[in-house]
Amino acid sequence: MTDHAPLAEVTVWHFAALVLLLIASASASMSETVMMAANRYRLQVRADKGERGAALALVLLADTDRLLGVILLANNVVNVGAATLSSLITLALFGEHESALALGSFLLTFVILVFSEITPKVIGARYADQLAPWFAYPLALLLKIAGPVVAFVNLFVNGLLRLLRLEERRGNPLHTAEELRAMLESSRWRFQNQRELLLNSLALEQLTVADIMVPRRAIEAVDVSQPEPVVREQIATAYHTRLPLIDSRTDEILGIVHTRRLVAELLAGEPFSKNLLTQVAIPAYYIPGNTPVLAQLAEFQNRQQRLALVVDEYGELRGLVTLDDVLEEIIGQFTSPLAPAALTWDAQGTVTLPAEMAIRDVNRALGITLPLDRGRTLNGLLLSTLQTLPEGETALRFGSIVAEVLQTDNRSIRVVRLRRLVL
């Protein structure tokens, strides 16, 4: 075994060079995490505001193959240099003792792992958006210097990828509605209302008009089969300005009456009569119940209409949907004399509500998860579960919620009481 070099051969410059190499390794590790973890959309916003660093970071991220190539090239060169210098220092201090070399390798590995790998990457992941524009400048310069070497290495990388039949993907990936919804639900927003609007807008993709329509029995309409004074009263006390004109004797829809047009005719001197109602009525607009809400929103805009009647596959009237119903799914219930009071649990953990309420509205208002696959309303859910119209008070349990039937008629459940169980 040869004698080791004297201690005087190891100067402070050797240690200073080793420290610089470790700092360079830490910078390379941090830059990799920073660039990969940076939010490209936030960088785009900053670039649009004129930040050169953010714009340069986006240019680098547009070609991740070359970016990762230059970062890993620099990191490996620096780590190899640090390992070589560490070996030289160990040999100079302790000679070619196997235990000394092993201890030196262990110490260098520990230092690189803690101070040049894990810690920089943790910091980079936490502050990626802030650091990415700053790292973009040295990385762009390094890419210009080492560009030919990176290109040469990438030839072998791309060849291996083609051999493995892995597709090349460039640019920002397309996000599905489910991914966007998950991003919104898991992120923190300064303005909660904006977050709710976006979530509600995404939810429209899964809804049909049958999910948001006013059921047939709840439609406010004018029945021309009634005596004229009753018809007058129906129009005078109606909350809505567009009213279906029906004849209950034949179950026929005669059209849609806009009270503004009716008032205009009356002010022009026309006497009120049932014939006048049929004259000012416009033809009804029918749509199937399985029409997607987003498609119907576009149709309302194209047709310049605000109301449609929903029919089933046999042409029978099922309900009514308006533009306001669609907008309420996005921005919430409008304030109006007919708007239902906010649903809240009482001190006993119960709430009583009409069975015609939509399950989606109940779940959203009370923060519960009643099943949505057995009906659109509480009445539909209970009837689908029971497979019969209950006689007297009946209770069903759905997870931690008990639904009690309080009132029925000869066709449906009318009133339900929900009770929370403490599990």
pLDDT value at residue 310: 92
**What is the DSSP code (8-state) at residue 358?**
B
212 and 316 inside one domain: yes
Whether residue 265 is contained in a domain is answered as yes
365 and 230 inside one domain: no
What's the token pair of residue 52?
Answer: 């050169």
pLDDT value at residue 4: 46
Query: In total, how many domains does the chain have?
Result: 3
105 and 21 inside one domain: yes
314 and 357 inside one domain: no
What are the start-end ranges of the H helices in 95-127? 98-111, 119-126
Are the beta carbons of 352 and 415 closer than 8 angstroms?
yes
Whether residue 378 is contained in a domain is answered as yes
281 and 364 inside one domain: no
* Reported pTM: 0.59
Whether residue 185 is contained in a domain is answered as no
Are the beta carbons of 8 and 92 closer than 8 angstroms?
no
What's the token pair of residue 101?
Answer: 């070399």
Rounded (10°) angle between helices 52-61 and 12-37: 80
CATH of the domain at 297: 3.10.580.10
pLDDT value at residue 6: 46
SS3 of residue 68 by DSSP: helix
Closest by alpha carbon to 69, among 129, 168, 157? 157
What's the token pair of residue 79?
Answer: 């780590």
In terms of residue numbers, what domain contains 364?
Answer: 350-420
Are the beta carbons of 2 and 95 closer than 8 angstroms?
yes
79 and 154 inside one domain: yes
Using CA atoms, how far apart are residues 108 and 81, in angstroms rounded to an integer? 12
pLDDT value at residue 334: 58
152 and 60 inside one domain: yes
23 and 125 inside one domain: yes
Using CA atoms, how far apart are residues 331 and 198, in angstroms rounded to an integer? 9
Using CA atoms, how far apart are residues 381 and 418, in angstroms rounded to an integer? 13
Please state, as a whole number, how many other Cβ atoms lie within 10 Å of the Cβ of residue 110: 10
315 and 366 inside one domain: no
Whether residue 369 is contained in a domain is answered as yes
Whether residue 169 is contained in a domain is answered as no
Query: Digits of tens for pLDDT over the chain (423 positions)?
Result: 444 444 446 667 778 888 888 888 888 889 888 888 888 888 888 888 888 988 999 888 888 888 888 888 888 888 888 878 777 777 766 666 667 667 777 777 788 888 888 888 899 889 988 899 999 999 899 888 888 888 888 787 778 877 877 765 555 555 666 667 666 666 666 556 676 777 777 777 778 888 888 888 888 889 888 888 888 888 888 888 889 998 888 888 899 999 888 888 888 888 888 888 888 989 999 999 889 988 898 899 998 888 999 998 888 888 899 988 888 877 766 544 444 556 788 888 888 888 888 888 888 888 888 888 877 888 888 888 888 888 777 888 888 888 888 888 888 888 899 998 876
24 and 146 inside one domain: yes
Q: How far is CA 297 from CA 35, 114, 220, 305, 327, in A?
A: 41, 57, 22, 10, 9
Whether residue 344 is contained in a domain is answered as no
Whether residue 174 is contained in a domain is answered as no
pLDDT value at residue 184: 66
